[in-house]
Chains A and B, each alone.
Chain A
């Protein structure tokens, strides 16, 4: 065991490098030369859990678990700092108020205060029909916005900075995984460089196409939509006054989401524009000026002159839900478990609500001395999250179908329906509660408590 670099070596031979099939030969050959740099075939001290995938959900989960004294390994394929370039991810997210409370509890309040743009009201209309549904945060709680718009890369940067300060987290990135094993007593992840990570539990935060989910044979229910989301950023002449607008068209919703002003003082909004799949490439091929012109035709002129200020990215839309959220010593989180149509901006929030519930279940189980990979631990997480995720996915699917029907009559029914919801405050408040992610049994992190 000469190759150990971190912590103690495992002295019981059953979890050795030989079980992984990697690293044994290189260890002999390079040991002398590389012992100090990155020795192959090192078995690190066991972690409480190994997170695979360093996206927004994985990074937040790592911080939440470490805040509860759990030791965490985060394994990410890509260079985490490369994600910071705007061309890598020009997206923004609407952070619901419950998930914002969690981010504050985890020490990211500064980020929300300096980089976040509060959504004070949401205006929902059927195209440019003047009848509308208006959600106003002052109606429920003036102190708390309906959501906070944040650039994904700003969130990622703050999460990475926070994570690097926490002694309980070891970040392995960029690195490829040579092999994962899950057995009755322990799970392990062998990295391509020969290091072997062990833990009672592996958590898959590896996204929609989750390799871990596929390897575990967990099937996926999925729907394809004839829709692609076009995402970009606009500078505009008039201020947005913290109002978001969601305009429903037969081709899909068109959403303008308020962002903080640019450093030069120009006003700014994120744009999520859903079009038919066949139209996406044509739209992307247009010049920035032409796209801004098309956007103005869709949203009207209430923001004045528009200018495109970010590359246009497109995401084909589908809805998917894993048949189960766990397998032996494996738990699925975020997009690995469920991906939804971004019509209500709930995708990241669903993932972050998974984080809050799983952090609570794992910290509770750790304090009771339970095996974190025990099926009962996974079942508790799944019971807590599945109904909420199914309900959000179903509501989003219904909205899509309701607003996906073209024609005058449908428009008039929808507009009347929206106006009716608008006139009935309890119904409107119920919608707002869902938008805020406050429906159901909240884990402490979503109430802003560390538990």
Chain B
């Protein structure tokens, strides 16, 4: 398979961690901890955008969702449990195998595909109400090509939810020095700070792809609140963009 948009070394690194991905105390534990906060943002954004019933158990029933860079399914499975007709896409074949095995064991009807997005997109144009792309663009080699393919997957009026680290001295200190090297909360060598995008840069790239940013918030941690959504985007940010 050709890797036009994904960085090949990165795929290999994360694929090697596939077996450990679902271990809440393993190499992906930071993602496990951060997950309820991300999912809360995702649900609230979708409820607001599509005018859904916030009290409903399966609020996303009737909507179709694609999780891009799904890994072993940490966000894909919740989307399916929230009621969306859900697919997961990742370039790492080992990760997709882990994702399929886990979803089967959890009895979740999720379709997973191991492919590069540029190969996947042509056959799935305008197919999805929801696309999620969390902690992915920082690993992408050709951002315009990646986002063009991503935008083509959404229905007009469909919503993209993205999150990625900012490129600031603070994000280097926290994510690279702190989380990768010292506390090993995230896999060492998995991130290149120079490739991180600022919110302004990403907003421009998204606009070029026909995606209009609607909300942009910071994802932060404090001793009192744990992980939470705030207006401070200096480390990592999460937002929504609508396909115009």
Q: Is B40 an interface residue (CB 8 A)?
A: yes
Q: Is the CB of B106 within 8 A of A369?
A: no
Q: Is the CB of B81 within 8 A of A46?
A: no
Q: Is the CB of A185 within 8 A of B106?
A: yes
In the complex, which of the residues B33, B56, B57, B81 contacts A376, with contact meaning CB atoms closer than 8 Å?
B33
Q: Is the CB of B104 within 8 A of A70?
A: no
Known: A367-B57, A370-B35. A185 touches B102 (CB 8 A): yes
Q: Is the CB of A369 within 8 A of B40?
A: no
Which of A342-397 touch B at CB < 8 Å? 363, 365-371, 374-376
In the complex, which of the residues B24, B39, B105 contacts A186, with contact meaning CB atoms closer than 8 Å?
B105
Q: Which of B72-80, B174-182, B194-202 contacts A (4 or more CB under 8 A)?
A: B72-80
Q: Is the CB of B24 within 8 A of A367?
A: no
Q: Which residues of B contact A366 (CB under 8 A)?
A: 57, 81
Q: Which residues of A contact B59 (CB under 8 A)?
A: 367
Which of B35-75 touch A at CB < 8 Å? 35-36, 39-40, 43, 56-57, 59
Which of B68-111 touch A at CB < 8 Å? 77-82, 102, 104-107
Q: Is A69 an interface residue (CB 8 A)?
A: yes
Q: Which residues of B contact A200 (CB under 8 A)?
A: 106
Q: Which residues of B contact A184 (CB under 8 A)?
A: 105
Q: Is A408 an interface residue (CB 8 A)?
A: no
Q: Is A421 an interface residue (CB 8 A)?
A: no
Most interface-central of A12, A366, A371, A376 (chain B CB within 10 A): A371
Q: Is the CB of A69 within 8 A of B78?
A: no
Q: Is the CB of B105 within 8 A of A69?
A: no
Closest Cβ of chain B to A167, distance in Å, is: 13
Closest Cβ of chain A to B93, distance in Å, is: 22
Q: Is A14 an interface residue (CB 8 A)?
A: yes
Q: Is the CB of A368 within 8 A of B33?
A: no
Q: Which residues of A contact B77 (CB under 8 A)?
A: 369, 371
Q: Is the CB of A376 within 8 A of B36?
A: yes
Q: Is A44 an interface residue (CB 8 A)?
A: no
Q: Is B127 an interface residue (CB 8 A)?
A: no
Known: A367-B43, A370-B39, A376-B32. A69 touches B106 (CB 8 A): no
Q: Is A104 an interface residue (CB 8 A)?
A: no
Closest Cβ of chain B to A4, distance in Å, is: 15
| Per-residue B-contact encoding for A126-152, CB less than 8 Å = 1, 0 else | 000000000000000000000000000
The residue on B at minimum CB distance from A375 is B24
| Per-residue B-contact encoding for A51-71, CB less than 8 Å = 1, 0 else | 000000000000000001110
In the complex, which of the residues A46, A68, A368, A374 contacts B24, with contact meaning CB atoms closer than 8 Å?
A374
Which of A79-107 touch B at CB < 8 Å? none
Q: Is the CB of B105 within 8 A of A370?
A: no
Q: Is the CB of A368 within 8 A of B78?
A: yes
The residue on A at minimum CB distance from B80 is A369
In the complex, which of the residues B56, B81, B104, B105 contacts A369, with contact meaning CB atoms closer than 8 Å?
B81
Give complex CA distance A66, B155 in Å: 35
Give complex CA distance A424, B115 in Å: 72
Closest Cβ of chain A to B41, distance in Å, is: 10
The residue on A at minimum CB distance from B58 is A69
Q: Is A10 an interface residue (CB 8 A)?
A: yes
The residue on B at minimum CB distance from A379 is B24
Q: Is the CB of A186 within 8 A of B106?
A: yes
Give complex CA distance A46, B105 in Å: 12
Q: Is the CB of A370 within 8 A of B36?
A: yes
Give complex CA distance A185, B80 in Å: 16
In the complex, which of the residues A46, A68, A370, A371 contacts B57, with contact meaning CB atoms closer than 8 Å?
A68
The residue on A at minimum CB distance from B38 is A368
Most interface-central of A10, A184, A365, A370 (chain B CB within 10 A): A370
Known: A70-B57, A185-B102, A185-B106. A369 touches B39 (CB 8 A): yes
Q: Is the CB of B106 within 8 A of A370?
A: no
**Residue positions of A touching B, CB distance < 8 A:** 10, 12, 14, 46, 68-70, 184-186, 200, 363, 365-371, 374-376
Instruction: List 7 additional A-B contacts (Cβ < 8 Å) besides A375-B24, A376-B33.
Output: A12-B104, A68-B57, A184-B105, A186-B107, A367-B57, A367-B82, A369-B77
13 contacts between A and B (CB under 8 A): A12-B104, A68-B57, A186-B106, A367-B57, A367-B59, A367-B82, A368-B36, A368-B39, A369-B77, A369-B79, A369-B80, A374-B32, A376-B36
